């Protein structure tokens, strides 16, 4: 399962129980394509809040939040 919870021009955030990074990227691009010639990729940097990327979900045990950029 993957839930998109924030999406902007250059970044988006998802909450998911997927653990494989390539699956997270593929599913994010399936549900929320960038519309550009480059897809969403998991960002190398932490979230703006300083939390690690990925970080545990604070609402659903077993899920993680990922920050992606395009």
Q: Look at residue 50 in the predicted model and tell me its pLDDT.
A: 97
| Measured distance CA(65)–CA(62) in Å, rounded | 10
Contacts of 42 (CB under 8 A, 6+ apart): 21, 24, 25, 53, 54, 66, 67, 68
Q: Look at residue 68 in the predicted model and tell me its pLDDT.
A: 98
| Measured distance CA(62)–CA(69) in Å, rounded | 23
Q: Look at residue 70 in the predicted model and tell me its pLDDT.
A: 96
Q: Look at residue 3 in the predicted model and tell me its pLDDT.
A: 97
pTM greater than 0.85 (yes/no): yes
| Contact call for residues 10 and 24 (beta carbons, < 8 A) | no
Q: Look at residue 38 in the predicted model and tell me its pLDDT.
A: 96
Q: Which helix (H) or strand (E) holds 11?
A: strand 11-16
Q: For 22-38, how does the pLDDT look when each residue is reduced to its tens digit (9 = 90+)? A: 999 999 999 999 999 99
């Amino acid at each position: 399962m993957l839930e998109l919870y924030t999406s902007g021009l250059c970044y988006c955030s998802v909450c998911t129980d997927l653990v494989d990074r390539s699956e997270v990227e593929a599913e994010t691009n399936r549900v929320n394509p960038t519309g550009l010639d480059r897809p969403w990729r998991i960002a190398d940097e932490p979230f703006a809040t300083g939390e690690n990327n990925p970080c545990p979900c604070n609402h659903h045990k077993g899920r993680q939040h990922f920050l992606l950029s395009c």
